[in-house]
Each structure stands twice: as structure tokens, then as C-alpha cells.
């Protein structure tokens, strides 16, 4: 599935910075199609370009429409974001159920209203579904770009075919058990000299706990070397003191 079939539609947006933030948000998730209906701010907008950071190409390729009706004309299914329950004959779903209503070959539109008031009832009449993001009931209004990025993430999870696996670039290998034990023997010798592992009847339990701490940490060879250096330095410092 290509993310090119997903279109974010901003209806009567008021603030250039929010448009730029939406462009940045959708590009973060491989979505590049942005449509803008009757922007109230001047367009092109320099503040939008500044806020978009690395997503200027999304803004520059965005399409401007004079009406919402024309902006959705070529789409197969349209969802309208809403922060409140409307008194309209329209199916309202949670964003968590968004994936159940779409098919991967459809051209999808996600409509967002102006920052101050949201979409009008006339505007949501063009949508197949209203979509609500579960939030605090006493404070449900989200910033435009925040709402957009939540939609992006849900769509990204659904349309991404590859299982995402991250690999650390950390170079040092994991320490062997022998290396960990050598380090433990070193610190235990130091603790014995200081009389830390006393009284004798508690020594075995204390050693077991020390072993458990360091063996479950999956220390790297580099980390073992650092710890040895730390304890050696502390030991030398105590001798001088």
C-alpha cells in the first residue's frame, strides 16, 4: 500500500504555524498529501514554511480549494475529526476503530476543522464517519497538529507492511559471565577488606544479592571496564585518605 492514497484536508485553517506543524507531522509518517480549504491566513504563508522545518515540500505541493465539496471529490472514503459528540445522523467512531472502516486500496480523506470552532455540521455532512480521539472528557480539545499526528500514527500502524525492528549502534559486545565474575570477585575482595559483608551469617545472602544485581544487568565489556576503573579509583582514593 502506498501512503499516497491518504489525504489530510485542513478546512478553513486560521494559523499558518499550525498548517506548518501539520505538514511536519504527516511527513513524519510517510504521508505527503495535504489539501487546504479556504485558509483564513494569507497563502503562501511564511510562518507555515518556518514551522514545517523539513516538510516544506509537503506545503509546496499542497492543493488549495475554495470548497470542501471540491476537495473530497476524488476520494473513496472520508473521515471527519471531531472533539465533541454531534447531534447529527452520522456514525461516530473512536480513532482506535479507524482501521476497521478502511481498505488499503481506497483513497482516504481525513478532514480537520478550523482551530477555534472545528468543523461545522454542514461540513461534517460530507464525511462517511466522524472520528473522535478518546481524551479527558473535561478537556477534550486538541491542537490541530496534535490531532493530526494521532491520526497519522494510527494510519501508519495499519498501512505499514514491515515489522519494525530497531538495532542499537552501540559497538561493545556483551560481557561474558567469566568477565562479570572476575569483576564481582574484585569488588567482593574490596568489600571484605572494608568489613562490609558482615555479620558472617548474612554474608551468603549478601553475596547472592550482589551476584543477582550484576548478572541480570547484561553489562557490556566496555561497561565492565568502566566499573572496574570506578572501583579501582575509589579504592586508591580511600587508601590515600
Cα distance between residue 67 and residue 235, in whole Å: 76
Question: What pTM value is reported for the model?
Answer: 0.75
Answer yes or no: is pLDDT of 237 > 80: no
Mean pLDDT, residues 219-241:
85
pLDDT in tens, 53-105: 999 999 999 999 999 999 999 999 999 998 877 778 889 999 999 999 998 78
Q: What is the DSSP letter of 220?
A: B
Torsion of CA 116, 94, 164, 217, to 10 degrees: 90
Q: What value, to the nearest 5°, has the Cα angle with vertex 35 and ends 129 and 96?
A: 35
Contact, 61 vs 31, CB < 8 A? no
State the pLDDT at residue 159. Answer: 85
Percentage, residues of the chain above pLDDT 90: 66
By the 10 Å C-beta count (0-12 exposed, 13-18 middle, 19+ buried), 162 is classed as exposed
Q: Which domains does the chain have, with CATH numbers?
A: 3-159 (3.40.1280.10), 177-240 (no CATH)
Q: Of 49, 60, 67, 55, nearest to 24 (Cα)?
A: 55
Cell 570506578 sits at which residue?
230
Residue 241: pLDDT band with limits 50, 70, 90: low
**How much is the mean pLDDT over the chain?**
90
Express each pLDDT in 28-55 by its tens digit.
999 999 999 999 888 888 999 999 999 9
pLDDT at position 173 over 80: yes
Check: CB of residue 49 under 8 Å from CB of residue 75.
no
Amino acid at each position: 500500500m502506498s501512503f499516497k492514497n491518504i489525504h489530510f484536508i485542513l478546512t478553513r485553517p486560521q494559523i499558518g504555524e499550525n498548517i506548518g506543524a501539520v505538514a511536519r507531522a504527516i511527513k513524519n509518517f510517510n504521508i505527503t498529501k495535504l489539501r487546504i480549504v479556504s485558509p483564513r491566513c494569507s497563502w503562501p504563508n511564511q510562518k507555515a514554511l518556518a514551522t514545517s522545518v523539513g516538510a516544506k515540500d509537503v506545503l509546496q505541493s499542497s492543493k488549495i480549494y475554495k470548497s470542501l465539496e471540491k476537495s473530497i471529490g476524488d476520494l473513496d472514503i472520508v473521515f471527519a475529526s471531531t472533539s465533541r459528540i454531534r447531534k447529527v445522523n452520522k456514525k461516530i467512531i473512536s480513532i482506535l476503530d479507524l482501521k476497521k472502516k478502511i481498505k488499503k486500496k481506497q483513497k482516504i480523506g481525513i478532514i480537520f476543522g478550523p482551530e477555534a470552532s472545528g468543523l461545522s455540521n454542514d461540513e461534517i455532512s460530507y464525511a462517511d464517519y466522524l472520528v473522535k480521539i478518546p481524551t479527558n472528557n473535561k478537556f477534550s480539545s486538541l491542537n490541530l497538529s496534535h490531532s493530526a499526528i494521532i491520526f497519522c500514527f494510527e494510519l501508519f500502524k495499519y498501512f505499514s507492511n514491515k515489522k519494525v525492528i530497531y538495532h542499537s549502534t552501540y559497538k561493545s559486545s556483551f560481557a561474558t559471565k567469566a568477565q562479570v565474575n572476575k569483576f564481582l570477585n574484585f569488588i567482593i575482595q574490596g568489600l571484605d577488606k572494608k568489613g562490609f559483608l558482615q555479620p558472617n551469617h548474612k554474608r551468603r545472602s549478601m553475596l547472592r544479592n550482589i551476584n543477582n544485581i550484576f548478572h541480570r544487568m547484561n553489562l557490556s565489556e566496555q561497561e565492565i571496564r568502566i566499573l572496574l576503573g570506578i572501583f579501582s579509583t575509589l579504592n586508591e582514593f580511600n587508601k590515600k585518605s
